Amino acid sequence: EEALCTTFRSWRAMAETPRGAEEAQPPPPVAKVEVEDLLAAMESFVPTIPEEVTHHYLRQSGFQTSDERIVRLVTLAAQKFASDVVQDSLQRCKWRREALRGKDRIDGRLVLATEDLTEALKEHGVTVVKPLYYADRDTELSELPQ
């Protein structure tokens, strides 16, 4: 699991490199040993997201492969993304709770709010827009479209 995290961190750093800097300095080559370690770690790691789900969405987007290692790698990348978003959401929830501690009496539970998740997703480049059919607290039922 540690090998997977280290490899994903290095790939993420390469992906976040600005275009101009990338052209000036090519990324360092990945050692054969690192690739073999990653493949070995992928074989023993059981992802939370079923590979059938990843396979379905890859096919739906037009990507076809017979190599199950590719599907496993995409599955692990999706799991890493989801894990990062959940971790950031939890952190925002804790910050919000600390801000409310002095104002209201709160119990010991952490409650994930949509705002926490929206802000965490925004940090990862995903914009969440509330659909029109949700009523705001200020909107009366008579103002809603029929």
pLDDT digits (tens, 9 = 90+) for 77-131: 999 999 999 999 999 988 888 877 766 656 677 888 888 899 999 999 999 887 7
pLDDT digits (tens, 9 = 90+) for 25-55: 666 777 777 878 888 888 888 889 998 999 9
Q: Which of 137, 103, 97, 143 is nearest to 116 (CA)?
A: 97
The number of helices, as runs of H, and strands, as runs of E, in the chain is: 6, 0
Rg value, the chain, Cα: 21
Q: Confirm if 56 and 99 have CB atoms less than 8 A apart.
A: no
